[in-house]
């Protein structure tokens, strides 16, 4: 009789241990059905037939085929998930790049606007000074002309 290893549990009737492998964890995004296979290990006595050996071999081959199919499905799911993740990250990168370009363009426009406003401010200051000088000239002209006006028009006032 074989000695039980960690993956084997005793048969409830007290017979040979049954190999029990835990099922794979569920994969939520896709429909994948996993089947748990229980394999019984038996010692074939000299009187057993070749048919029993072939049946066990067929059962083992079928279990191996199911396992290979399940692993293939799992690999396909992983490949699809990797492709979707790559697409998502690429789209995020493109959006981020576009936002950075917009931000740089806005900064450039704001700098142009700031320079424009500074130039307008300088022009207004220059105009204010010119108007102020004109105002002073008019005042001094009025002060200079006033005695002549009073002398000339004073008699009529």
DSSP labels, 54-105: HHHHHHHHHHHHHHHHHHHHHHHHHHHHHHHHHHHHHHHHHHHHHHHHHHHH
Task: Identify whether the C-beta of residue 38 lies closer than 8 Å to the C-beta of residue 44.
Answer: no
In the chain, % helix, strand, coil (3-state, to 5) comes to 65, 5, 30
pLDDT given at position 1: 46
pLDDT score recorded for residue 12 = 53
Question: Quick one: average pLDDT of 48-70?
Answer: 91
pTM over 0.85: no
More confident call, 82 vs 30: 82
Please tell me the number of Cα atoms within 13 Å of 11 on its side-chain side.
14
Which of 21-30, 79-88, 125-134 is predicted most confidently? 79-88
Neighbours of 66 (CB within 10 A): 13
**More confident position, 56 or 153:** 56
Helices then strands, counting H and E runs in the chain, come out as 1, 3
| Residue of 19, 66, 67, 65 lying closest to 42 (CA atoms) | 19
Domain segments of the chain: what residues? 8-88
| 70-124 residue pLDDT tens | 999 999 999 999 999 999 999 999 999 999 999 999 999 999 999 999 999 999 9
Nearest to 21 by CA among 3, 39, 42: 39
Contact 7, 19 (CB under 8 A): yes
Max mean pLDDT among 8-12, 18-22, 91-95 falls in 91-95
Q: What percent of the chain has pLDDT over 70?
A: 67
Do residues 76 and 82 make contact, with C-beta atoms less than 8 angstroms apart? Answer: no
Q: Please, what is the average pLDDT of the chain? A: 80
Q: What is the pLDDT of residues 141-156, one digit of tens each?
A: 888 887 777 777 765 5
């Amino acid at each position: 009789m074989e000695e039980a290893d960690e993956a084997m549990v005793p048969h409830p009737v007290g017979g040979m241990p049954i190999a029990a492998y835990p099922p794979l964890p569920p994969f939520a995004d896709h429909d994948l059905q996993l089947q748990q296979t229980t394999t019984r290990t038996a010692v074939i006595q000299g009187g057993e037939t070749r048919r029993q050996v072939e049946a066990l071999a067929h059962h083992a081959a079928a279990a191996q085929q199911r396992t290979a199919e399940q692993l293939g499905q799992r690999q396909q799911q992983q490949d699809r998930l990797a492709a979707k993740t790559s697409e998502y990250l690429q789209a995020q990168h493109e959006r981020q790049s576009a936002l950075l370009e917009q931000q740089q363009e806005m900064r450039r426009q704001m700098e142009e606007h700031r320079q424009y406003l500074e130039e307008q401010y300088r022009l207004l200051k220059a105009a204010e000074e010119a108007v102020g000088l004109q105002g002073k000239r008019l005042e001094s002209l009025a002060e200079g002309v006033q005695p002549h006006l009073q002398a000339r028009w004073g008699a009529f006032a």
